A and B are shown apart, each in its own frame.
Chain A
Amino acid sequence: MAKVQVLNVAVLDNPSPFGNPFQFEVTFECMEDLPEDLEWKIIYVGSAESEEYDQTLDSVLVGPVPAGRHMFVFQADAPNTGLIPESDAVGVTVVLITCTYRGQEFIRIGYYVNNEYTDTELRENPPLKPDYGQLQRNILASNPRVTRFHINWEGCAEKMEDSENVDPAPIAMRPPSCTPGKAPPLGLVPDNSMDCL
């Protein structure tokens, strides 16, 4: 079970001019003290066509996280307009908030974002080159898409457990030469060599 449950994400400063920073107020609950920080990212999807145009607006570490309920505001600068295909600047796209623990993503919260001109004139006759100064960003805050992933919260601890679980029998069957450095020279078998066998 996930140690961290996201209870709520409030979208602040919405709708807002395109150039304003994104602001998400995240409330989450943690079942037990986390030894490591959580890493949160805001990813702006520049184009539906390709992940190539994804921009990680910012990534931030959040910690320390003791057991309990916490909140923070994650603010990230607006996307670099230079990296957005001009044809995709206006219209619907997606902004993603992801959280990873020990490098594993366990939650992904997605919002539809609608970028449009507030000016009716511009709306009806949009310029070929998008005028970002006139664009308004509207995040569909009421409809978050939350995807939870099952991760290994214990991190490397689990790997250790797994190695412990290797059936000891094959090791016991292994000839002593398989453990280099420990193998005694032939003819000089020490008394405790029985242990190896």
Chain B
Amino acid sequence: DKLTRPWLPVSKPIFSVDIHPDGTKFATGGQGEDSGKVVIWNMAPVLREEDERNENIPKLLCQMDNHLACVNCVRWSNNGLYLASGGDDKLVMVWKRAAFIGPSAVFGSSSKLANVEQWRCVMILRNHTGDVMDVAWSPHDVWLASCSVDNTIVIWNARKFPEIVMTLKGHTGLVKGLTWDPVGKYIASQADDRSLKVWRTMDWQLETNITKPFSECGGTTHVLRLSWSPDGQYLVSAHAMNNSGPTAQIIERDGWKTNMDFVGHRKAVTVVKFNPKIFKKKQKNGSTPKPSCPYCCCAVGSKDRSLSVWLTSLKRPLVVIHDLFDKSIMDITWTLNGLGLLVCSMDGTVAFLDFSQDELGDPLNEEEKNAIHQNIYGKSLAITMESQLSSTIIENPEMLKYQQERQVNQNPNEAQGIGPESQTPKLTNVLNGESLEDIRKNLLNKQVETRTADGRRRITPLCIAQLDTGATAAVNSIGMKSNLLLTSASKIEPMKALDSRFTERSKATPGVTSVPLTIGITPLDRVKDCSSVKEPKGKDETSSDSEDKIMVKSMAKRKGEMEGAEVVEKRKKGRPRKDAKMMPISQPFPQVTFLLSKDKEPSRLTTPIAVLKLPTPSIQKSFSTQVSTDGVTYLEVENEVSVVSGSRLSQLKWSREGREWDALLPSRIIIAAGSNDVVAVACEDRTLSVFTACGRRLIPSIILPAPMSALHCSRHFVMALTASATLSVWDVQKQTALVKNESLNPILSGTDATVSQSFLTQQGVAVVSLSNGKTYCFNSSLETWNLIADKQDSLVQCTDFRNCVSAQDALGSMGPLALTQGRNLSAGRLASRLSSTPHHLQQGMTLAFLEKQLSSALVLLSASEYRHWLLIYARFLVNEGYELRLRELCQDLLGPVHKSSSSSWEPTVLGLRKRDLLTEVLPVIGQNLRFQRLFTEYQDQLELLRLK
């Protein structure tokens, strides 16, 4: 390995270092002159000596002194767009690169180095009441976690800053380190309270609390940066003790066992950092490839100023570097390829270590790494948020094609946000094409100056760039280059009396209880560091002299100011924390009272239901009904039209578009019904006659057990409901009975309800609605009554699947099921009002409802509705992540791939080919990358079957 000594001209302590995911730059955080300091450095000069010597390659890219106090941690987001920093000023700042044109410098700073890149603070996260010690982005940048000496960990919603997802409380000491597990299932924290806690991201509750290895530890380290291995199997703590010796404790994910540790450092371990890569043994040329276990690599830094690098496959460290720095190691970061390592120290330096593949091994590629994750954590990751999977690797071309098609169809804006560079903010030039130089020439004359009511001058500043777009337009040349002649600068004798005027506020200024932070003041314990600052160039003797004097002066003043600061501190401590408290869900489960229609409605069924009796229509002299919708068809009935040889004849007259026929019946007609195919009439003498659409009698009169209560025809089916509450359905074409004199007793007994409506579906399924709002159909294959709709069903009212219904679905929902549920299908009606219903409850109810709809459509033999609900159901399963159900559904739709006689699989359902349905369902599944394996699996099999 190669060790490069740092060239960074930094002399203040560096507390944190992090390499950008693209490997081109890295950030450091630490103490600045009068503030915390975040610096972004160019990586190239670190990696290559020739770049280091090249004057044209900038080393420093940007420095930000916005933090009011020392910066303890800097971390790049996984996508590289943001940098998060946390500091002693209790703040977490999120930085984003702004478009830039030229370099600029911090105004008035002694450093003359220009900023090559412009990074702007886009968000300040305030919640901690103490110094922020560590920040960590979750996998996929869903959350940002920060921990603090206020003993809490705050989980910020990284997609909706500054929203707080949760505040994790439980530590009783300063929390000094954070790490997410690689699949985002856990976050671990280590604190001065001699504990390491693992929290679940599912419910943000404590998973485990590990104290034993830390019982001997004292709170002596500035940071406790722990780390999770890239395969997720091991969590390694910072400072732990074993037999009075400092160690880094290895915690196994499996059961949180603490049987192993890294031993050897002479002082407390401050930082542990796993290499992002998983390695396998380097295959030597010629040797037969042996399957070897993949292993991880871990760097451990300590207060003893030394660094050790370990492989999990070796018992001894791979390398130990003693006395790397003059002071404690504070942070470690690996390059993305896993071969480089930056280490920073309290002494203000950064060291770079370079490994070769021979030393570490062959890094696994992302696929192999993913395969390990899949193996260990199963196909379904714990997190249910779909958005989190946006960065999931698309594993096969089919899926990729599908996803790409999807993106094209989607809002193009959405598709844009993926590439890291596409996010570069656009410039909003408000200068109307004028160059800044031109504007500057005339600014005094052009700028708008008015007088306020009390006669004061008021200047409207010229806006040269709008900030909200992240743009910082053409302000470049202003920098700190002064084109002025410095005549006799050396002659100017700095005067002490004048110097003080620079920093002391005029007495006229209304003093607020704020703490002046003046140039040159640094915390006392860092005096030595700052007094040793020697800027080698860019400053003439006299002015640097004066600066030193100022520094000394302000040092003397510092004490008093410090006291003031403490007062402010205390005052602020009284503030209640603005934690996002979860409101207790007090609203109970919606109580839906089932109306059992106890209120006696005037009914013909006043007697206890010994014999069920349905009402029969009264006999009319004549009546007519319209029977068919396509082609206006009328049935006209005229009872007792003529008397022939003592018997009274009744006439049935059928007419459609001018064609007509009539039939004579020997008894008075009670009910007539018809479809396109058949006409049925029930007579007073309990006979039922059935004719074809042309008037030909199909069957001899059927004798009914009781007078007819209701009669329906649909296609070639005839349904009869008798007064004695029995149901019959015949298929007159096939001359078979589908339902044989079945009693309505099961659905009517025990209630006072009566039949309010009945009808026959196109498929010959009899449907009976009762006055209590329930609707049943008779399932002739199971010979049972099935409940298909219930207006008072609480499930219906609390479901919410609206987001699973697409626009074109509205068409498919027409059918008998919709008819029975009708407008009263109040699905989701209550959903909005029940926003406090726990999600899982609503999820369960919706699932139950959708499955009911599906089975109802099946029983009603309503193919179009079955398809309609199947797609909604599939979408719901995909959205909510029900993988098992989804898999079962797919399996049923696919059926056996190879023909076998034993299989009872039906290739169709309700006349729909199941595999066609699967073809429709698969794109729904493909929308969620999480189910890409499922998608691929069935897509492939379908393709296979298609080829057969």
B444 within 8 A of A: yes
B-contacting 9-mer, from A100-108, A124-132, A189-197: A100-108
**Option from A2, A30, A58 in Cβ contact (under 8 Å) with B467:** A30
Contact between B457 and A43 (Cβ–Cβ < 8 Å)? no
A150, chain B: closest CB distance, angstroms: 5
A53, chain B: closest CB distance, angstroms: 11
Contact between B443 and A62 (Cβ–Cβ < 8 Å)? no
Given contacts A98-B506, A151-B514, contact A65 B501 (CB under 8 A): no
Contact between A75 and B444 (Cβ–Cβ < 8 Å)? yes
Within the assembled complex, what's the spacing in Å between the Cα atoms of A58 and B467? Answer: 29
B452 within 8 A of A: yes
CB 8 Å contact bits of B390-406 with A (1 = contact, 0 = none): 00000000000000000
| Beta-carbon contacts under 8 Å, B620-643 to A | none
Chain A residue at minimum C-beta to C-beta distance from B450: A61
B507 within 8 A of A: yes
Contact between A61 and B458 (Cβ–Cβ < 8 Å)? yes
Within the assembled complex, what's the spacing in Å between the Cα atoms of A142 and B478? Answer: 12
A8 within 8 A of B: yes
B517 within 8 A of A: yes
Given contacts A1-B124, A23-B444, A167-B574, contact A48 B491 (CB under 8 A): no
Within the assembled complex, what's the spacing in Å between the Cα atoms of A112 and B574? Answer: 43
Contacts of B506 in A (CB 8 A): 43, 51, 54, 96, 98, 105
B468 within 8 A of A: yes
Within the assembled complex, what's the spacing in Å between the Cα atoms of A2 and B68? Answer: 9
A179 within 8 A of B: no
Contact between B464 and A146 (Cβ–Cβ < 8 Å)? no
B459 within 8 A of A: yes
B321, chain A: closest CB distance, angstroms: 38
CB 8 Å contact bits of B454-478 with A (1 = contact, 0 = none): 0011111111111110001101001
CB 8 Å contact bits of B466-506 with A (1 = contact, 0 = none): 11100011010011101011111101111101100111011
Report which residue of A6, A69, A74, A116 has the largest number of chain B beta carbons within 10 angstroms of its beta carbon. A69
Contact between B461 and A71 (Cβ–Cβ < 8 Å)? yes
A138 within 8 A of B: yes
Contact between A60 and B518 (Cβ–Cβ < 8 Å)? no
Given contacts A104-B514, A152-B514, contact A147 B502 (CB under 8 A): yes
Contacts of B480 in A (CB 8 A): 8
| Beta-carbon contacts under 8 Å, B18-71 to A | 34, 66-68
Contact between A110 and B501 (Cβ–Cβ < 8 Å)? yes
Contacts of A51 in B (CB 8 A): 506-507
Contact between B478 and A10 (Cβ–Cβ < 8 Å)? yes
| Beta-carbon contacts under 8 Å, B416-454 to A | 440, 443-444, 447, 452
Contacts of B104 in A (CB 8 A): 7-8
Chain A residue at minimum C-beta to C-beta distance from B518: A147
Contacts of B482 in A (CB 8 A): 10-11, 141-142
B516 within 8 A of A: yes
A179, chain B: closest CB distance, angstroms: 23
A13, chain B: closest CB distance, angstroms: 10
Contact between A112 and B494 (Cβ–Cβ < 8 Å)? yes
**Option from B458, B491, B576 in Cβ contact (under 8 Å) with A62:** B458
B536 within 8 A of A: no
Chain A residue at minimum C-beta to C-beta distance from B466: A68
A45, chain B: closest CB distance, angstroms: 6
B286 within 8 A of A: no
A172 within 8 A of B: no
Contacts of A60 in B (CB 8 A): 456-459
Contact between B512 and A151 (Cβ–Cβ < 8 Å)? yes
Chain A residue at minimum C-beta to C-beta distance from B495: A48
Within the assembled complex, what's the spacing in Å between the Cα atoms of A75 and B449? Answer: 11
Interface size, chain A (Cβ < 8 Å): 78
Contact between B486 and A7 (Cβ–Cβ < 8 Å)? no
Contact between B108 and A68 (Cβ–Cβ < 8 Å)? no
Within the assembled complex, what's the spacing in Å between the Cα atoms of A12 and B441? Answer: 10
**Option from A15, A63, A94 in Cβ contact (under 8 Å) with B501:** A94
Chain B residue at minimum C-beta to C-beta distance from A116: B488
Contacts of A83 in B (CB 8 A): none
Contact between B575 and A73 (Cβ–Cβ < 8 Å)? no
B610, chain A: closest CB distance, angstroms: 60
B908 within 8 A of A: no
**Option from B68, B107, B443, B543 in Cβ contact (under 8 Å) with A1:** B68
**Option from A23, A48, A147, A165 in Cβ contact (under 8 Å) with B497:** A48
B248, chain A: closest CB distance, angstroms: 36
Contact between B457 and A61 (Cβ–Cβ < 8 Å)? yes
B552 within 8 A of A: no
Contact between A149 and B516 (Cβ–Cβ < 8 Å)? yes
B519 within 8 A of A: yes
**Option from A63, A110, A141 in Cβ contact (under 8 Å) with B460:** A63
Within the assembled complex, what's the spacing in Å between the Cα atoms of A152 and B515? Answer: 10
Within the assembled complex, what's the spacing in Å between the Cα atoms of A10 and B444? Answer: 13
Contacts of B463 in A (CB 8 A): 66, 68-70
Contacts of A78 in B (CB 8 A): none
A161 within 8 A of B: yes
Contact between A1 and B502 (Cβ–Cβ < 8 Å)? no
Contacts of B574 in A (CB 8 A): 165-167
Contact between B68 and A150 (Cβ–Cβ < 8 Å)? yes
Contact between A7 and B465 (Cβ–Cβ < 8 Å)? no
Contacts of A19 in B (CB 8 A): none
Contact between A71 and B443 (Cβ–Cβ < 8 Å)? yes
Contact between A150 and B108 (Cβ–Cβ < 8 Å)? no
**Option from B108, B456, B488, B492 in Cβ contact (under 8 Å) with A61:** B456
Contacts of B518 in A (CB 8 A): 147
| Beta-carbon contacts under 8 Å, A4-59 to B | 5-12, 14-15, 23, 25, 27-31, 37, 43, 45, 48-49, 51, 54, 58-59
Within the assembled complex, what's the spacing in Å between the Cα atoms of A37 and B456? Answer: 12
A80, chain B: closest CB distance, angstroms: 17
Contacts of B475 in A (CB 8 A): 7, 27, 69, 71
Within the assembled complex, what's the spacing in Å between the Cα atoms of A124 and B585? Answer: 87
B530 within 8 A of A: no
Contact between A145 and B108 (Cβ–Cβ < 8 Å)? yes
B529, chain A: closest CB distance, angstroms: 21
Within the assembled complex, what's the spacing in Å between the Cα atoms of A67 and B430? Answer: 13
Within the assembled complex, what's the spacing in Å between the Cα atoms of A112 and B547? Answer: 13
Given contacts A140-B492, A165-B576, contact A67 B498 (CB under 8 A): no
Given contacts A51-B506, A94-B501, contact A7 B107 (CB under 8 A): yes
B133, chain A: closest CB distance, angstroms: 19
A137, chain B: closest CB distance, angstroms: 12
B255 within 8 A of A: no
Within the assembled complex, what's the spacing in Å between the Cα atoms of A28 and B109? Answer: 15
Contacts of A151 in B (CB 8 A): 512, 514
B477, chain A: closest CB distance, angstroms: 10
Given contacts A72-B443, A104-B514, A149-B514, contact A59 B456 (CB under 8 A): yes
Given contacts A27-B475, A49-B497, A71-B443, contact A105 B467 (CB under 8 A): no
Chain A to chain B contacts (Cβ below 8 Å), 26 pairs: A1-B67, A6-B107, A11-B482, A23-B444, A25-B443, A27-B475, A27-B478, A49-B497, A60-B456, A62-B461, A64-B460, A68-B465, A68-B466, A69-B472, A73-B443, A75-B444, A98-B509, A100-B509, A114-B488, A140-B492, A147-B502, A147-B516, A151-B514, A152-B514, A165-B574, A165-B575
Q: A12-B444, A67-B468, A144-B108 are in contact. List 8 more A-B contacts (CB 8 A).
A: A1-B121, A7-B475, A11-B482, A27-B464, A31-B121, A65-B461, A69-B472, A104-B509
Residues of B within 8 A of A (CB): 34, 66-68, 89, 91, 93, 104, 107-109, 121, 124, 440, 443-444, 447, 452, 456-468, 472-473, 475, 478-480, 482, 484-489, 491-495, 497-498, 501-503, 505-507, 509-510, 512, 514-519, 543, 571, 574-576
Give the 10 A-B CB pairs with smallest separation, nearest first.
A146-B108, A70-B461, A48-B497, A110-B502, A69-B465, A145-B502, A61-B458, A73-B444, A72-B461, A68-B467
Residues of A within 8 A of B (CB): 1-2, 5-12, 14-15, 23, 25, 27-31, 37, 43, 45, 48-49, 51, 54, 58-75, 92-94, 96, 98, 100, 103-105, 108-110, 112, 114, 116, 138, 140-152, 161-162, 165-167
